[in-house]
Chain A
Amino acid sequence: MSGMTELHAYVLLVLVGFLPNEVWRVLGLVVGRSIDEESELFTWARAVATAVLAGVIAKIIIYAPGALADVPLMVRLGAIACGFAAFLLVRRSIFAGVLAGEAALMLGALIYRG
């Protein structure tokens, strides 16, 4: 952002950051406002949101960003499997799952560093 004044940076933040982002939330408010928790439309919207989230998760693992891309794909897949297994085995604990997954990722990356 060299050459950009501080004020200019904040104006851009609102115009090309906040507005195109917030429009989705406002649309969600318009649609979600009239839906009932017991309705079928709610169950469908929940399934859509869950599928999007699942897609995001899988994409980060397979098309990894930044420094995670330097860890081999097999290590990333193995680590997420380890974390998931630990979550299931240790009383469905998120902490246990995350710790096991991270440990597997670090170990795998150290062993198989290309």
Chain B
Amino acid sequence: MSVPPSASPLQRSPIAAFLDGFCAAWCSALAYVVLATYVGVAALGHDFGFSLWWVLASTLLLWVAPGQVILISALAVGATSVETAVAVGLSSARLLPMVVSLLPLIKDKDTPNRALILPMHLTSVSTWIEAQRFLPGLPRAIRVPFANGLGVGFMTSANIGTVVGFYLAGSLPPLLTAGLLFLTPMSFLISTTRNCRLLADWLALGIGIVLGPLLAWRQVGLDLLWTGIVGGSVAYGIHRLREALK
């Protein structure tokens, strides 16, 4: 995995930083995971009778594959607007802690709010993972354009995947579809592991893996939100305790 080219990072212009971010996205295995995931999303949209432009627009506006799958399926089976909105909203709650833990890495003391709107909108799991990896090593002045390049890079791969999926729809063998669906958990697990630095990160990963399916099995409402709050807080608490005992 190559580090983005940064021969003289202090002198890089915003446009060069944006392109560095764009290239970093395409050097990441996650770009191809995103592409393959959207092949699946597009095939679903095609099967339910949505147009290619509508599916592309849903990627630009939502930029969360699971939420888009829920939206497409719900509209296709004629769920009410309120039901659909609630289902999409519940599945996307993970964006809140992601944006909260991304912006402090991106912003400078005097970054205006409007400069944070694009990085906020581009936040997704893939952008978040790679931003946590690259941003700490970059000068603050170029972090906003770099993050934007990263997000736009991943979104480009999603849209290429969407076009491919639209034309492949119906001809994908089931085993290949299963393989496409398996890409997400496999790549997210190892790229999250690679990003773990503090004890709090490692514990959060371990507790989340156990707590997520457990709460879903007990049919606790908002299971992922509780997994995050409880798992993250316990992990953080143990981390603090160990720091205090040092």
- Seen from chain A, the residues whose Cβ lies within 8 Å of a Cβ on chain B are 1-2, 4, 6, 9-10, 12-29, 31-33, 35-37, 39-40, 42-68, 70-71, 76, 79-80, 83-84, 87, 92-95, 97-98, 101-102, 105-106, 109-110
* Interface residue B142 (Cβ < 8 Å from any Cβ of A): no
Interface majority SS (helix, strand, loop, mixed), chain A? helix
Q: Is B167 an interface residue (CB 8 A)?
A: no
Complex Cα distance, B82 from A86, in Å, reads: 45
Known A12-B81, A24-B99, A28-B98; contact A55-B88, beta-carbon cutoff 8 A: no
B67 in the interface (beta carbon within 8 A): yes
Known: A12-B75, A65-B181. A35 touches B104 (CB 8 A): yes
> Which chain A residues lie closer than 8 Å to B245 at the CB level?
none
Contacts of A39 in B (CB 8 A): 104
Residue B95 at the chain A interface, CB threshold 8 Å: yes
A21 & B64 in contact (Cβ 8 Å cutoff): yes
Interface size class of B (residues with CB under 8 A): 35 or more
Cβ distance B48 to chain A, nearest Cβ, rounded Å? 6
Which residues of A are found within 8 Å of B40, using beta-carbon distances?
Answer: 66
Docked pose: A93 CA to B40 CA in angstroms: 25
Instruction: State whether A52 touches B97 (Cβ < 8 A).
Output: yes
What are 7 pairs between A and B in contact, CB < 8 Å?
A: A1-B49, A17-B62, A28-B120, A49-B98, A51-B204, A67-B181, A68-B177
User: Could you tell me the distance between the alpha carbons of A94 and B129 in the complex, rounded to whole angstroms?
Assistant: 13
Q: Which 7 A-B pairs have the closest CB atoms?
A: A55-B212, A28-B99, A54-B208, A48-B232, A51-B231, A20-B89, A32-B103
